[in-house]
Structure formats: C-alpha cells, structure tokens
Amino acid sequence: AWQIAAHQLSDPQREVVAQRCHAWLLAAGWRKAENITDERWHFSNEMAWLRDLEPNIDALFSAVQRSVAQGYTALRTIYKAGWQAAFNYSVQRDPEGIISDEQWAHCFATLGYRIDTSGEGIEPLPIELPDGTITALQRAIADLPRYRHGNSNGMLRLSELLDAFRNVVSRGQSSVLPDAQRDALLQRGIIGEALVALGFETGTTWYPGNQMQPPVSVDDRYIKRAQQIAEKGVEATFAEGLPVHAPVLVRDDERLVYLEMVGPKESVRANWAALRANYRRHYINRGWLSTNKSDGLTTLKRTLPCGWEHWALVHRQCAVESVQPAEPFYLLVDGESSVPPLFFTMLAHSLAVPLMPAWGDYLWRHGRLRGLIVSISDASHGMGGWRVEADEEAWRELVQEGLREGAIEMRAEPSPNGDEVL
C-alpha cells in the first residue's frame, strides 16, 4: 500500500506489517529470518522471510518433453531446462537436490527414456518382446494396405504399421507406445528389422491424405519401398541434336554410377564424348549429372545385330576387380532381392575388419538400419542400386556389438578342401 521497499519501512509501518502479515506468512509456510548471510541477498542486515523452493513437477515434465522432442539427449541440457521450468526462475543448478533422482527417473520413464550407462545422457527404454515377434510382425506387415503417391507406390501408412505392432506385442490388448520407444523400434529396433527384411525404408515421409491412392481421411506419414525402380527408359541428349535411348540410368545424387546408351554409332559416340568432357553437367530424368574425365567411369561397348551401338558407362566402385578400399561402393540391382549377391564380397574387400560370410544377413540388415547402406534408386530407371559406406570404425562397432549380443559368432567354416578355417 505504501509502494516502498521493505528496508525503507518506518518502525510504525513495520509494526503494521507484523500485525497483519506475519501470521499469514507463517501459515503459508514461510519462516522469519532476522538476517541473511547469503552473498546473493542484497539486504543482508534486514529481516526477511524464507521458504524452501517447491518444484512444479508438471512444468518440469513439460520442459523435459519439449527438450526431448527437439532432439536433446544430454542430461546437462535437459536438467537445466527442467530446473528453470520447475522453479519458475533462471535456476542453473539444484545443489540441494530438491528434485530427487526418483522424480527425474519417473519423468524420463513416462516419456519412454532412462539414463544411459555413461550417466551423461538418456536413451529409449528397452521393450520386452515375446518370442516370435519379428516373424509375426512380418506377417502382419505383409497384410497391411499399400498406398501410392506420384511415382512412389507400395507404401505403408505409419499409423497402421504401429497398430499392427501393438497388436502383435500385446496380443490384442490395448497398449501405449511412447514416442521414444516407437522411434527406436522403427529406426534400429525390431520394427526396422522387419521393414528391412520386407524391402522397405525405415524413415517416413508426410503426405496429405487426399493426395493418396486410395485416399484417406487424415494426413499421415508413410514408409516407402527401398527400391522404386522405374522400368521405362528415356531419351538422352548429352550431345545437342543427337538423341540416344537410355534404357538404364543409376545415379548417386549427381554422380553417374551406371548408364546404358543405345543408338546409331555417331550419336552414341557423340553423347559419350559429351559425358567424358571435363566438368560438365547434364539434365536427365528429373535430375542432374556431373561428369569429368577422372570420375572413375569405365566404358563397355558392343555392336547390336541391327548395327546400332550399345555402350555402358560403369563406375569403378561397382566391380570387385576395381573397387577402391575405404571408399563407398555400389551394388546394382534389377529387383528387390534382400541381400545383393556381391554385398559381402565387396564389403570384405573394402574393409580391414575381418568378416565371415555367415554374417552377411546380419551385416546387411544392421548396415541398413545404421545408414551405412542407402538406396540410390530415386531419379534412376531401368535398375536400382545401393551405396555402401566403407566406414571402418562404424562397421567394426557393428561387428563388435553383434558378437557381444550373440547375434553373430566366430566359428569355423569348411573350406573347399574340407578343412575348417576361421
């Protein structure tokens, strides 16, 4: 009422405050302190009222939820956001441990996380799955409806996929799948493994429901097939005025991986020369190609019975004989075989990590889940392909993890002469 600071109150005014306010403050949980020695308190010689901080756990949960949704997993960052929200103040720490470890753990668990083994971050909670889950899930996925948008067909709807997973895991009972566990299962867990085995990507793409075939009532995210191979060839004109037929084109972004050209000899030769010129860019089939003389392309030639030429340009990283270790290599595919035949041979040739042929399926499946194997079928036609990263450390970590978890093992295999070798 007087609109002055507490330390400016006169003695009569202090008496009024004491009569009217002290009882209310005590009832509200405040305690009287004649002076405060804390250096952060500017009026150290003045009487003050103190009360312990009471965290707003609802605000704490909302702050942690926002941090996780934004991709933060470091405990230091999450704790700071939580303290500031819980105490409604610019609090940088909680030395008294007002928010207990149990409260933090409950908050994380509600969101589907736990503190990781390093103690410096959080990770998704593991899910206990019944035996035979992956087989049952693959059958359930195979029965799901397929959708189309533009050139992408055979897509799965994410919400229907998650419903199928819940039904398999809970045996028809209702269950809640936190976002953290959903994403972990989709990207690197059992859902991702089932999708890879059936030839799908593990990432999702958002589409409006009314643009889908068949149409759906709500917008959703969809999962594409890993290899979308357009069978129809195109006309290519790398040399102006001399078109040729290009039945097959496989590219990795702007890098030419494999190209076939068919046509009269003069036209094929002119287009080949245009592609081999230094630092040229050409537009074909919804994308650009950048080529130069030192881009690792080999030319294969043959003459057809009709007299036309059939030439192919092949990147050196497509063949075992010419693949360079420690560089990404390519696998060309004309269908959707689960593991291309040359995968293991080329991977073993590209890495110093010792590998065993029996690990082929495991390496393919988890290489795809880790992003070490990526489809390059977009903007290609006639054939599809994969780019395989030759990241020594990443593959070594994957092998060590598989051995540690028992997914693969070191065992003797018979050699051609009947001996057992490791």
pLDDT for 174? 46
* Torsion angle in degrees (nearest 10) through CA of 344, 350, 351, 356: 20
Average pLDDT of the chain is 86
Q: Rounded to whole angstroms, how far apart are CA atoms 189 and 124? A: 11
Please state the three-class secondary structure of 22-34 as a single string: HHHHHHCCCEEEC
Q: Rounded to whole angstroms, how far apart are CA atoms 372 and 209? A: 32
Eight-class DSSP state of 176: -
pLDDT for 9? 82
- C-alpha 143: how far from its chain's center? 25
Mean pLDDT calculated for residue range 239-255: 93
Q: How far apart are the first and last CA of the chain?
A: 88
Q: Rounded to whole angstroms, how far apart are CA atoms 249 and 284? A: 9
173 Cβ neighbours under 8 A, 6+ residues apart: none
Interval 353-362: pLDDT, tens: 999 999 999 9
278 Cβ neighbours under 8 A, 6+ residues apart: 292, 293
Instruction: Report yes or no: 126 and 100 within 8 Å, Cβ to Cβ.
Output: no
pLDDT for 334? 85
Interval 294-323: pLDDT, tens: 788 999 999 999 999 999 999 999 999 999
Instruction: Report yes or no: 107 and 156 within 8 Å, Cβ to Cβ.
Output: no
Q: Rounded to whole angstroms, how far apart are CA atoms 75 and 119? A: 8
Q: Rounded to whole angstroms, how far apart are CA atoms 114 and 106? A: 9
Confidence class of residue 173 from pLDDT cuts 50, 70 and 90? very low
pLDDT for 285? 81
Q: At what angle do helices 343-350 and 360-369 cross, to 10 degrees?
A: 80
Q: Rounded to whole angstroms, how far apart are CA atoms 312 and 310? A: 7
Pairing of strands 205-207, 234-236: unpaired
